[in-house]
Amino acid sequence: MKRISMMGCPNVGKSVLFSRLTGVNVISSNYPGTTVDFTKGYTRIGGEKFELIDVPGTYSLEPISKAEEVARTMLQEADIIINVVDATHMERNLYLTLEILGMKKPTIIALNLWDEAKHIGIDIDVRQLEKLLGVPVVPTCAITGEGVKALTLKLRAAKQSEQIKPMTEEERWRKIGEIIRKVQVVHHRHHTIWEHIADITVKPATGIPIAMIVIFLIFLFIIQIGNLIIEYLMDPIFYNYYGPWIVEFVTAFYPEGLVHEILIGNSTLESLNFTQSFGLLTTGLYVPFDMVLPFVVTFYIMLSLLEDTGYLPRLAVLVDTGLHKLGLHGSAIVPTILGLGCNVPGALATRIMETEKQRFIAATLMAIAVPCMAQSAMIFGILGKYGMRWILMVYGTLALLYISLGLVLKRIIKGESPELLLEVPPYRKPDPVTLLKKTWTKAYGFLVEAVPFVLLGVFVMNLLYISGVIELLSGLFSPVLTTLLGLPKEAIVALIMGFLRKDIAVGMLLPLGMTPQQLTISCVILSTYFPCVATFVVLLKELGIRDMLKATGLMLIVSLTVGVLMRAILI
């Protein structure tokens, strides 16, 4: 199968074009444009199947960071290159284009955002551009899909450029100046309404209040819509259809005994007990599908909206000053927000930070103080009925930890904390198809990753109970749990489960009959003491063993200290 690599600068609409060209079958190890990981998909053009790769956006091929190195490798491995160029910013986009053409690979250029360029008064002579560059150029508008068909039809005409030779940096800028003079005419234009909005959302006096409202609305939306989905869709499915069916089904084969116990626990037709029965087919499925998935879906819809409209970089600018005090800069908002969804992509996204010091701080703060959506969903679930203040107490404590740890780490970790340098793209109308596809990919990824771990965890827990290991461990850890933290010694089960999955671990606190104070302390400890195994593996790869040991030591100390302090205050 031939491989097509899509290359271009950041913010040129490359990902939208990519999703236009590929089917639903997209494998994304991470967020396009935010990490070095790339997205891969397949497309059929004229009966032939192609592998399509969305190469992370870079401004040039000079290896100044890992992103450029990866881009360079992907270029060399590709059979055909689609170079996506922003028609509204041709001058600086052409630098990468000239570098790519100098590599002598069959190339075709998609002149994207064509309609926007026309709209703001930029005329480009496509024929002349084709002639000067020596490769086909196709105007496209990825959002509306215009020109995408033409691009696929012309794909076979992709060729090596005869006109563009490898050249030095100065020669390249000179050549770009020449090309721009020959093919582009810019007419006078007025500020558009979106540009005015762009300005007021980045000016501190107006931007900061707007950011607060936006964040508040996003959380409101995630919680409200998530709850609606649970109440009107998932709960009826589980309680009216799935529950009675599975209890009857299992009871028919195993009326009682070990297998019955492991599969559905103490669930009966009268009391389905999805949250506490702790059976593989009851709690093991109810927690990921009913209690967590609705929030995961709503979270990723909102996150995609933030990314696709272009609001995220503005948020990064507004929080930059604050994050500087923590040894980070504005871009660290990306791993933090991603971490609120799932710590794994959050950990991967710490790569966008330039120095080792910043990566360590960003990763450690996320692992300690940023609970993932699955865990948050369960925290809402078990603390919600006692009132909002307990939930606020959990998140308030975590926020306080994020800030105070950052202040300390900035001082004790050696290394540099460089400044922010970031393009703030214009606002764009998000494409619903791309948005839904992104959300689907994330939700599907969550199910594939989470469900096996939850089931494994439930199964192992059942075995540990039956074999008496839990009792042994509860006795062993009761000095720490009971004496220091004021929790029942049985809470050890949640901490053990927390290594595997945080969501089901929070769920295991329910049957212990704890007070809201104890639940609050447990939720904070579960968030801070150790990352789940999936995050741990990624962090280990990203940070290396030494830094990971440091981070782990910090987690244990912080979690114990905060737990003891909270106990002194609350109980």
Which residues here bind other proteins, judged by CB under 8 A? 9, 59-60, 62, 64, 88-89, 91-92, 95-96, 120, 169, 173, 198-199, 202-204, 207, 313, 316-318, 320-321, 324, 329-330, 418-426
Using the minimum distance from each CB to other proteins, give the nearer residue, 83 or 277: 83
What six digits make up the tokens of 397? Answer: 């404590």
- What is the rounded CA–CA span in Å between residue 139 and residue 150? 9
CB of 426 to other proteins, least distance (A): 8
CB of 315 to other proteins, least distance (A): 11
Using the minimum distance from each CB to other proteins, give the nearer residue, 110 or 317: 317
Pairing of strands 107-112, 27-28: unpaired
Residue 108 DSSP one-character state? E
Using the minimum distance from each CB to other proteins, give the nearer residue, 173 or 465: 173
By CB atoms closer than 10 A (0-12, 13-18, 19+), residue 297 is buried
CB of 308 to other proteins, least distance (A): 17
CB of 119 to other proteins, least distance (A): 12
Q: Which of 378, 361, 401 is nearest to 562 (CA)?
A: 401
- What is the rounded CA–CA span in Å between residue 548 and residue 545? 5
CB of 273 to other proteins, least distance (A): 53
- What is the rounded CA–CA span in Å between residue 560 and residue 21? 51
Whether 93 contacts 12, CB under 8 Å:
yes
Using the minimum distance from each CB to other proteins, give the nearer residue, 40 or 89: 89
CB of 218 to other proteins, least distance (A): 22
Using the minimum distance from each CB to other proteins, give the nearer residue, 93 or 559: 93
- What is the rounded CA–CA span in Å between residue 396 and residue 401? 9
By CB atoms closer than 10 A (0-12, 13-18, 19+), residue 569 is exposed
Please list, in sequence order, all residues whose beta carbon lies within 8 angstroms of the beta carbon of residue 373, skipping any fewer than 6 positions away. 292, 295, 296, 299, 340, 341, 342
CB of 424 to other proteins, least distance (A): 4
Using the minimum distance from each CB to other proteins, give the nearer residue, 154 or 428: 428
By CB atoms closer than 10 A (0-12, 13-18, 19+), residue 460 is middle
CB of 419 to other proteins, least distance (A): 2
Distance of CA 555 to the CA centre of its chain: 22
Using the minimum distance from each CB to other proteins, give the nearer residue, 202 or 560: 202
Using the minimum distance from each CB to other proteins, give the nearer residue, 106 or 330: 330
How far CA 402 is from CA of 15, 253, 390, 397, 487, in Å, comes to: 32, 51, 19, 9, 24
